[in-house]
Amino acid sequence: MVLKKRDVAIVGIGSTSFGEHWETGLKELVAEAGFAAADDAGIRGKDIELVVVGNMSGGRFVGQEHVAALMADHLGLNPTPAVRVEAACASGGVALREGYMAVASGFYDLVAVGGVEKMTDIYGSGATSALAGAMDFEWEAYFGTTFAGIYALIAQRYMHEYGLTREQLAKVAVKNHYHASFNPLAHFQNRIKVEDVLTSRLVADPLRLLDCSPISDGAACVLLAPAEDARKYTDTPIIIEATKQASGTLSLFMRKNICTIEATTEAANQAFKDAGMSRKDIDVIEVHDCFTISEILSLEDLGFCEKGKGGKLYDDGQTYSDGDLPVNTDGGLKASGHPVGATGVKQIVELVKQLRGEAEKGRQVKGAEIGLAHNLGGSGATVVVTILRRGD
């Protein structure tokens, strides 16, 4: 379907650091990211016409629903309309797409897209249960499986079918920690070795603690405006070439092949078609690595390598920032952290930094012009693929 739409640019970005922020609550996180983005674009609150917030579970974690209204109110934006978007770990990506459509359609001229999650107030089995909401509650969580358990089922089967080794999986985490060691906003900035991953505690066999993204607090924000107005706000507008969303089965056991997330392939194919680009055009990728297996699987489903061959990319070190296929240059979800609702927006913030050439030395991809973000909800029920290009 062809839409009469205008190009949309990202004109401002902001993010908190991700980690355990004991002294900071939900509101304060959003304020920090929001004001940073506003400063970046040189705007005032009253200029913002719509707020879209990605947040998975304010209710379960801090007893707060009506999160969008809270944001607008706390940021002093009343009476600006605010809407919350929820798609588990894809909340941020979906929020971005909703914000994009609001500007592309001509409805609004300046939209703030945020993502936030405050997770560390509860711990242990309580947090595990809250995250279980991303799966099929009645038929997966009800029987005692956890979110890590679902990805472990995928990893176990994938290793059986394609011969992926534990070492190859570990290399994903090693690479992401390496990138994060240059990222002052990352939850973890320590470098690790394959051996560290292989000796870390088992969480859900075969996945170990260092295969799993952490529980983090954080917020990120981007400002969207029509591309034709972008120069009003920034010297380095980044154009959203395409942002596509696809749905898949909520439960893993309903999927035809558990080693493939069809929604990723669907969204990616549509995005590349819309943008008129091919995989070779992409200079830097933000992939949803909630667990190490997810990064490998997703690179294949996105079309960057053949199914079953993803592990080899890590043996060859190709996914480092100076490699052929830079992936998760900020540390991904594993090392930079995974405040669920914020992640999808943080991925965009990182790509914008890369395309502007503003990322820290050691993780900046030289001459990056086109980036791709892949944000995934649950075990593959919601996927958003976004392609960004450095504006002229």
Residues that bind other proteins (CB under 8 A): 60, 124-126, 128-129, 132, 137-146, 148-149, 152-154, 156-157, 160, 201-207, 251-254, 258
Decide whether 132 or 348 has the Cβ nearer to other proteins. 132
Cβ contact 190:214 at 8 Å: no
Closest approach, Cβ 224 to other proteins, in A, equals 36
Nearer to other proteins, 146 or 176 (CB): 146
Active site residue 374: no
Q: Output b/e per residue, 121-159; b: 16+ Cβ within 10 A.
A: ebeeeebbebbbbbbbeeebbeeebbbbbbbbbbbbebb
Alpha helices in the chain (DSSP H): 26-41, 58-62, 67-74, 91-104, 125-131, 147-162, 166-180, 194-199, 262-275, 292-301, 310-315, 332-336, 340-356
Using the minimum distance from each CB to other proteins, give the nearer residue, 153 or 302: 153
When the beta carbons of 207 and 230 are compared against other proteins, the nearer one is 207
Q: 330: which 2 tokens?
A: 């900020």
Q: Among residues 21, 89, 288, 374, which one is catalytic?
A: 89
Question: For tokens 């898949």, what's the residue?
Answer: 248
Nearer residue to other proteins within complex by CB, 210 or 345: 210
Nearest distance, CB of residue 63 and other proteins, angstroms: 12
Distance CA 298, CA 304 (A): 9
Q: For residue 254, what is the DSSP state?
A: G
Catalytic residue among 21, 187, 338, 374: 338
Q: Give the Cα separation of 352 and 368 in Å (integer).
A: 10
User: Shortest Cβ distance from residue 142 to other proteins (Å)?
Assistant: 7
CB 132 within 8 A of CB 65: no
Respond yes or no: is residue 89 known to be catalytic. Answer: yes
Rounded to an integer, what distance in angstroms lies between the CA atom of residue 51 and that of residue 72? 7
Please name which of 112, 86, 138 lies closest in space to residue 30, comparing C-alpha atoms.
112
Q: How far is the CB of 201 from other proteins (least distance, A)?
A: 7
First to last CA, the chain: 27
Comparison of 136 and 301: residue with beta carbon closer to other proteins? 136
279 DSSP assignment: G
- Residues forming the active site: 89, 338
